[in-house]
């Protein structure tokens, strides 16, 4: 069932909820004919997916601030949120089949379900289904590293392209035997992220070896990627890293 949302509750009812399941937001207005055509199609398609996705509606006439915030230039505009960010979107009144395909693209794949299981067998099956599934590769690599199979982990991560987290984990594997970094890595593993990152940044500043500095930077960037761009620690660490590098 669709629910109306205003700027006052957008954070709670859309962004926060989208960390648990996809939330699709329909930006509409009462005067808009295509909006009236799309609404029942969208609502029926969401209902068919039995709670796997939620539908929120924003009246752009009543909430111009939200419309401006998300760059709405034509309506109906539909934006799908996952993990607090826009994952996918479309503009205009699409037909039933296209709306259904849009919603299905937001739902977990079989590989995603296997990643959620988290055991080695499931993760390997996920990678067999989707060899480029970064989350599966990272999870499997971490299991292998914990089991002392670093070479296997490196081989798994080598197949992941465009992932700062994967690059950082591979760089850490190269540096694991560096006794001077043991305290930093232990801090990261224990959840003392700020202390661990500070020690790694200090190691960057103190090192004259360009290869070592490059690897250290990759480890730090991988950790910052996990924190997220807006995290205060990520912002502060980027500043410290830039100072250490330049």
pLDDT of residue 226: 87
Q: What is the pLDDT of residues 187-212, one digit of tens each?
A: 998 999 999 999 999 999 999 899 99
For residues 228 and 181, state if they share a domain. yes
Taking 80 as the threshold, does the pLDDT of residue 1 lie above it? no
pLDDT of residue 48: 92
For residues 10 and 100, state if they share a domain. yes
Look at the chain and report how many structural domains it folds into. 3
For residues 34 and 82, state if they share a domain. yes
Domain boundary among 59, 81, 104: 104
**C-beta separation of 61 from 5 below 8 A:** no
pLDDT of residue 229: 81
The share of the chain scoring above pLDDT 90, in percent, equals: 80
For residues 123 and 169, state if they share a domain. no
Contacts by residues 9-12 (CB-CB < 8 Å, ≥ 24 positions apart): 10/58, 10/66
The share of the chain scoring above pLDDT 70, in percent, equals: 100
Question: What is this structure's pTM?
Answer: 0.62
Q: What is the dihedral of CA 89, 91, 95, 100, to 10 degrees?
A: 10
pLDDT of residue 210: 92
> 209, exposed or middle or buried, with CB in 10 Å at 0-12, 13-18, 19+?
exposed
For residues 142 and 179, state if they share a domain. no
Domain containing residue 177: 163-246
Q: What is the pLDDT of residues 12-71, one digit of tens each?
A: 999 999 999 999 999 999 999 999 999 999 999 999 988 899 999 999 999 999 999 999
C-alpha–C-alpha distance, residues 6 and 69, integer Å? 13
Contacts by residues 94-99 (CB-CB < 8 Å, ≥ 24 positions apart): 94/38, 94/41, 95/41, 96/41, 96/44, 96/45, 99/38, 99/41, 99/42, 99/45
For residues 201 and 129, state if they share a domain. no
Q: What is the pLDDT of residues 79-101, one digit of tens each?
A: 999 989 999 999 999 999 999 99
Q: Are strands 85-91 and 54-59 parallel, antiparallel or unpaired?
A: unpaired
Catalytic positions, please?
32, 35
**What mean pLDDT is reported for the chain?**
93
CATH of the domain at 60: 3.40.30.10
Domain boundary among 142, 161, 180: 161
């Amino acid at each position: 069932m669709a629910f109306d949302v205003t700027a006052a509750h957008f954070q709670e009812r859309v962004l926060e909820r989208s960390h648990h399941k996809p939330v699709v937001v329909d930006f509409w207005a009462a005067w808009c004919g295509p909006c009236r055509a799309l609404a029942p199609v969208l609502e029926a398609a969401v209902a068919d997916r039995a709670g796997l996705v939620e539908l929120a509606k924003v009246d752009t006439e009543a909430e111009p601030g939200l419309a401006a915030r998300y760059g709405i230039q034509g309506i109906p505009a539909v934006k799908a949120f996952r993990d607090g960010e826009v994952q996918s979107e479309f503009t205009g009144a699409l037909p039933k089949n296209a709306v259904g395909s849009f919603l299905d693209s937001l739902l977990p794949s079989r590989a995603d379900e296997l990643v959620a299981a988290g055991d080695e067998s499931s993760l390997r099956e996920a990678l067999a289904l989707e060899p480029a599934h970064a989350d599966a590769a990272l999870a499997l690599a971490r299991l292998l590293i914990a089991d002392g199979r670093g070479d296997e982990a490196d081989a798994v991560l080598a197949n992941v392209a465009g992932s700062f987290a994967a690059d950082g984990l591979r760089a850490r594997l190269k540096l694991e035997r560096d006794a001077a970094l043991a305290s930093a890595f232990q801090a990261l593993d224990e959840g003392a992220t700020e202390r661990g990152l500070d020690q790694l940044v200090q190691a960057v500043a103190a090192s004259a070896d360009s290869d070592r500095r490059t690897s250290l930077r990759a480890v730090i960037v991988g950790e910052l990627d996990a924190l997220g761009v807006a995290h205060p620690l990520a912002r502060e660490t980027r500043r410290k890293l830039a100072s250490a590098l330049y």
